[in-house]
Amino acid sequence: MISSHIRICFFNVTFLKELGRIAPCYISAYPNAGLPNSLGQYDETPEVMASQIQEYIDEGLVNILGGCCGTTPAHIAKYADLIKGEFSENGIENSISHLRGVISMARAQEMDSANSQFFIMHQDETGLDGKYAAFGKVIAGMKTVDEIANTEVDNPRAMAPRPIVDQVVRSIRFIEIEG
Helices and strands, number each (H, E), in the chain = 4, 6
Domain with CATH 2.40.100.10 in the chain: 88-149
Collect all residues with Cβ–Cβ distance below 8 Å to 26 and sequence separation of at least 6.
1, 4, 5, 6, 63, 64
Q: What is the mean pLDDT of residues 53-61?
A: 82
Phi, psi of 82, rounded to the nearest 5 degrees = -80, -20
User: Binning pLDDT at 50, 70 and 90, where does residue 165 land?
Assistant: very high
Does 55 have pLDDT greater than 80?
Answer: yes
Collect all residues with Cβ–Cβ distance below 8 Å to 56 and sequence separation of at least 6.
11, 13, 16, 29, 62, 65
Distance CA 25, CA 16 (A): 13
Instruction: Give the model confidence (pLDDT) of 118-160 as tens digits.
Output: 899 999 999 999 888 888 899 888 999 999 999 999 998 988 8
> What mean pLDDT value characterizes the chain?
83
Instruction: Give the model confidence (pLDDT) of 59-92 as tens digits.
Output: 878 777 888 889 999 998 888 778 777 777 778 8
Share of the chain above pLDDT 70, in %: 88
Burial class from Cβ neighbours inside 10 Å (0-12, 13-18, 19+) for residue 112 reads middle
Distance CA 36, CA 52 (A): 16
Collect all residues with Cβ–Cβ distance below 8 Å to 54 and sequence separation of at least 6.
82
By the 8 A CB rule, do 75 and 49 touch?
Answer: yes
What pTM value is reported for the model?
0.59
CATH topology of domain 88-149: Cyclophilin (2.40.100)
Q: What is the mean pLDDT of residues 33-57?
A: 89
Radius of gyration of the chain (CA): 19
